[in-house]
Amino acid sequence: MARGRAGTAGKRSELLNDPRRNKGTAFSLEERREHGLEGLLPPAVETLDRQLERVLGHLAAKPSDLERYIYLIELSDRNETLFYKTVMSDPARFMPIVYDPTIAEACLAFGHIYRGANGLYVGLDQKGRIAEVLRNWPVKDVAFVCVSTGGRILGLGDIGANGMGIPIGKLQLYTACAAVPPQSLLPILLDIGTENAALRADPLYLGLRRRPPETDELDAFVEEFVQAVQDVFPGACIHFEDWKGDDALRLLARYREKVLCYNDDIQGTASVTLAGLTTALQIKGEVLGDQRFLFLGAGSAGIGIAEMIVSALCREGLDEAEARARITLFDVNGLIEPSRTDLTPQQKAFAQKAEPETDFVATIERVKPTALIGVSTSGGAFDRKVVEAMCQLNERPIIFALSNPTEKAEVSAQDAYAWSKGTVLYAAGVQFPDVAVDGRTYHPGQANNFYIFPAIGLAVYATRPQRITDAMFIEAARACADQVGPDLRAKGMLFPAQRDILQTEVTTAARVAEFIFDRGEAGVPRPDDIRAWLEGLLYKPGY
């Protein structure tokens, strides 16, 4: 009788292999009889907490974080609820495993550790049929599409289809950090080929073995993709992630006023940097308008941060020319100044009237910055001379080494605190351990976008605006900084504690949602209690 009620063996197998419906050993005895699962599972009926206990034991036995990453991805493939129960049980522990820095190692080995698709692959050879390919995704009510070409993954450069680990990981953080329902999230890899000859020659590489197209062909492909998303998933937000710098800036400028979209590498990085700067200035008792900023790196991340600082300064009363005069950019070819012929239009907007200079320390001495921001992917670029030059100019210098993975950081936390004798206000793109200098322990900040983009995602998911603006990211930065209390600031911490990431994100999302409602940009009626309304929308892992 149980067999008849369950239907075919294929249906039973489908249930156990559907990660969204599978409960594994948590299926009750009644459910096992009803669905024909008797004998297909061990006799014990377990709670979700008991299953979590077993998962934690498995993870503890793994020899490396990469092996833990592989295990967790496999877990998400067979039991999504248990996967999120795990990562949400201790976000500070698991974020570095499912995302940065372990994700960098996973992406480099992606073709070799591949287990399943976990998203959609849309190739250049499918041009003209992109909407047809998108319709193959089984979920139709998609709220967010995170899309990458793999063209500039973290500090790894162009790794093509191996970059799929990034949109997968980013969207997992939407849920793990801000409880955005996972069924509404779609990772996509736009496979346009890769410049990486070693990957093209790797027999286990999973992408197209060709070079990327010229700009015009790429833009036509992206245009078809963007319009296909509007058709197949109307109302979905496109989250551009880890595109090459020029492509990232150009495409964000093209689409930000046309469709619901944002670029996390540009706007999310800028927002979390602004949050850290805001906290650092609260510690110093200073204001943004009195600062001078020197950047090492002038790619999409550097330009995005600089532009958001300009926007924030203008909101505080400076005109645009005054705001831009506070910012100096320096890249691999030296100071960004008007005589250079290799500048993009976005870089030209920050070209200061100055003589050419290729010595970074000399530029520090000339510009006299109060804050140093590294987005160069040049590991160790902020050497002892750089840190000491900043200390000679500032009682408490602000130094952000934002490049990742770990080996790409411009200066480690250990060196920054030691060389500054503990006076530096420091943040990195990765999490460094605490540092002891002269008997005092310092807590380096992590200026990681996960403080911002999941909260933006939750606010957008709830309020359904037509567009995402820089003003929303500035509000998110301020909301994040406001959650660093005096006790944390006294320890030199520039960001909220990661152990409370869900509450931090919901608080930030509530601020952003209120901001959206106040400006009449929401696509839903305003609730009486925005915080309570948001909390009612949160995903909670459970059977």
Facing residues of 442 across strands? 435
**Distance between CA atoms of 260 and 269, rounded to whole angstroms?**
19
Neighbours of 200 (CB within 10 A): 16
Question: Is 417 among the residues known to form the active site?
Answer: no
Among the listed residues 99, 262, 417, 461, the single catalytic one is: 99
Of 410, 415, 401, the residue nearest 446 (C-alpha): 401
Q: State the Cα angle at 403 between 398 and 409, rounded to 5°.
A: 75
Instruction: Report whether 99 contacts 170 (CB < 8 A).
Output: yes
**237 contact partners, CB below 8 Å, separation of at least 6:** 143, 144, 145, 260, 261, 262, 457, 460, 468
348 is catalytic: no
Question: What b/e sequence results for 484-512 when a residue is b if at least 16 CB atoms lie within 10 Å of its CB, and e otherwise?
Answer: beeebbeebbbbbebeebbebbbbbbbbb
Query: What span, in angstroms and rounded, lies between the C-alpha atoms of 153 and 141?
Result: 28
User: Which amino acid is residue 196, in one-letter code?
Assistant: N
Sheet holding 144-148, edge to edge: 120-123, 185-191, 144-148, 237-240, 261-263
User: Measured between alpha carbons, how far is 522 from 463 in angstroms, rounded to an integer?
Assistant: 5
Among 23, 84, 85, 170, the one annotated catalytic: 170
Which residues partner with 373 through β-bridges? 295, 400
Place of tokens 């979590």: 52
Distance in angstroms (rounded) separating the CA atoms of residues 299 and 347: 8
Pairing of strands 237-240, 144-148: parallel
Strand pairing report for 371-374 and 293-296:
parallel
274-353-385 Cα angle (round to 5) = 60
Query: Do residues 100 and 429 make contact, with C-beta atoms less than 8 angstroms apart?
Result: yes
Which positions are annotated as active-site residues? Answer: 99, 170
